[in-house]
A and B are shown apart, each in its own frame.
Chain A
Amino acid sequence: MNSNIVLAVVVSAIAFGTPLVLAGLGELLAERSGVLNLGVEGMMLMGAVCAFYVSQELHWSSALVLFLAVVASMVAGAAMALIHAFLTITIRVNQIVSGLAITIFAGIIGLSSYLGEVWNIGGVAGLHQFNQVNLLGLKNLPILGPLIFNQDVFVYASWVLVVAVLYYLYRTRPGLYLRAVGENPAAADAMGINVTAYRYTHTLIGGALAGLGGAYFTLALAPIWTDGLTAGVGWIAIALVIFAFWRPDLLVLGAYLFGIFSALGPTLQTHHITALPSEFYSALPFLMTVIALAAASTSWANRRIGTPASLGIPYTREEA
């Protein structure tokens, strides 16, 4: 097979995977604390539109504007997450309904589109963009060059974040406490850990990272704003977190795998390399996840794997 095709597929996979990794890590942290957030798509769109607005309206140096745009995207995402957190943690609304409400509120026919209209930023090319950097000057190395040393800041940030979240979860005390909160909130509470605070914090972080993932679209990929330009990536991020069984290392692999499958399909078909349709490959990860979930429910696996058992269930301390 032509190495150019392989390269093209991988490059496209990374582009597809980067917002997935960002939003996915956020959702992973939220779910680890026991909060299911189905509003990721809406939060990403809010991040995208706010970032674009900032980058269009501020007339300062590119670096500063882009930085502020990134900050804006994270604030926007976190603001949406705050609504979700308040509804589900304090008022104890059903997490599914609240998340869907956020998606509708902020999504393709919601606030993000409304703001895009009101701010009049649709359909115009972006003034600023994160370009690919030439990391360590090695962009011309064969194969590895374009893949590793010639990406934009978002991609590098996503890799750094994966390592950071891994370290956070498994090598820091707050990370340990977070895992306890997700797996057994009653035990964590009994040991003096503030379950509510952990849930709020990590839901907000989840929103901020979702916003950041959205900003990738309007600041790096093809800087332009259109309604719903994330095209369902937020939903895939949710599925990805479950597919990765709430582990950051599997998450990043899964993100690129999803990317490869979505890019590979059409490529394989055009070159008549395989009989299986591309949709089969696209659907495969989701089917595998269902099987894995079923296998993990058996008590043999359940004890070993430690899924956030409290996912979706509001926590109430027993009060007489």
Chain B
Amino acid sequence: MIGPLRVERRLDTPKWLKVVVPLASLVLAAIIVGILLLATGHNPLSTYHQMYSAAITADGALSSTLVYATPLLFTGLCAAFAFRMRTWNIGGEGQLYMGAVGASATGLVLGDWPRPLVIIAMVIGGALAGMLWAEIPALLRAYLRTNEILTSLMLNYVAGFFMYYLIYDSDSYWRDLTTPGASVFPTGKTLGSHANWPGITIGSFTLPLGFVIGAALAVGLLLLIRSTRYGFEMRVMGDSPQAANYSGIRTKRKILSVMAISGGVAGVAGSSQIGDFGHVLDPRGLQQAQYGYTGIVVAALALYNPIAVVLVSLFIGGLTNAGFALEGPSFPTGLVGTMEGIILFTVLGGEILARYRISWQRRHVVAVGTGVAS
């Protein structure tokens, strides 16, 4: 109860409400941002129009949007998959870093192999690295019941320092020591041409291979969740841990495997960063981008549905792209985060309307009981 308002969980959320509420939230967000824009001397409609074109219609806009969307697609899937089962993996950031490390190592070592093999190896290398990194909090949670939110968070920092060390503070395999400027401005070794992931050009825009892989993963994960034994067990565990135990589901193993998959997907995000873009291990760039954490909010906006994650990653990617493309006096970069934040607040807050029914309660109800006499 919130004051005189009675909040009851709905027995059933009508289908139309599930669609209308997020849309209404977006509209509300657009209005709030519009007010903010007006208050600071900008024209909301023209700003939105500019953003739309910078994200989608302008030359090369869609391709840029996809560049931003690709990592978010993976990290969004990473979070969505884990969160559904109430294993709160917020280590996607660190798992991405480790994936990048793993993939660049694979790409460097196998640089001369035929291209398709190198790409596959990079995906595997990144996935394995991410998986292993995720298993640390997974093991602690499964066997010691340690809170995985805290442990996966800590490991993000450790992964960051590790990555930093490889490039900026050591003579490691990953570091480029050949060029004259290398000792002064440390950079990673650039991977060979076989490690460049091809893009798929469709009309006027280019689809990064990573995005295609990610979309395929999204479909795969959805099928896994909806149609397989494994997914069924996941859904039962996420809904009621006691029912899962009672039906004989091996919960420890589930935790380990779900976290492994989740971490592996984040690891592939790292592979994609190396293979699709950059072609070099760039710790600073990765740490600034915060793809892992942003992926969590993408997952939340997508209500943890893998297909929706694809769409939301495109949306946020477009938003980010527009922000950077339009950066200038009439369009401060700060607008991107502000808009994302307001969208998040309205959508998250609006979700309560879909889940609960709010009605006016005149009398304060004091009685709390089970309805069963004893």
Residue-wise, chain B 129-150 has the 8 Å CB interface mask toward A (1 for contact) of 0000000100010001111011
Q: What B residues does A278 contact at CB under 8 A?
A: 169
* A110 with B161: CB separation less than 8 A: no
Which of B165, B337, B368 meets A109, CB within 8 Å?
Answer: B337
Our count of residue pairs bridging A and B at CB distance below 8 angstroms stands at: 164
* B344 with A279: CB separation less than 8 A: no
A105 within 8 A of B: yes
Residue-wise, chain A 31-59 has the 8 Å CB interface mask toward B (1 for contact) of 00000100000000000000000000000
Q: What B residues does A109 contact at CB under 8 A?
A: 320, 323, 333-334, 336-337
* A279 with B165: CB separation less than 8 A: yes
* A113 with B334: CB separation less than 8 A: yes
CB distance from B304 to the nearest CB of A (A): 10
Give residues 84-104 of B contacting A (CB, 8 Å): 88, 90
Given contacts A277-B165, A290-B136, contact A114 B334 (CB under 8 A): yes
Q: What A residues does B323 contact at CB under 8 A?
A: 109
Q: What B residues does A135 contact at CB under 8 A?
A: none
Q: A280 vs B162: C-alpha distance in the bound complex, in angstroms?
A: 8
Residue-wise, chain B 70-96 has the 8 Å CB interface mask toward A (1 for contact) of 000000000000010000101000000
Which of A100, A279, A280 meets B293, CB within 8 Å?
Answer: A100
Give residues 94-117 of A contacting B (CB, 8 Å): 94, 96-98, 100-117
Majority-rule SS of B interface residues: helix
* B338 with A242: CB separation less than 8 A: no
Which of B146, B165, B294, B341 meets A111, CB within 8 Å?
Answer: B341
Q: What B residues does A117 contact at CB under 8 A?
A: 332-334
Q: Which residues of B contact A (CB under 8 A)?
A: 1-2, 40-41, 83, 88, 90, 136, 140, 144-147, 149-151, 153-155, 157-158, 161-162, 164-165, 169-170, 293-294, 296-297, 300, 320, 323, 332-338, 340-342, 344-345, 348-349, 351-352, 367-371
A93-B349, A98-B348 given; name 16 further pairs at CB < 8 Å: A36-B149, A83-B345, A94-B83, A101-B300, A105-B344, A109-B333, A109-B336, A114-B338, A239-B157, A242-B150, A242-B153, A242-B154, A286-B158, A289-B150, A293-B147, A297-B146
**A–B complex contacts, Cβ < 8 Å, 15 sampled:** A93-B349, A97-B296, A101-B297, A101-B341, A101-B344, A110-B341, A111-B341, A118-B332, A227-B334, A235-B157, A239-B157, A242-B153, A286-B155, A293-B147, A312-B147
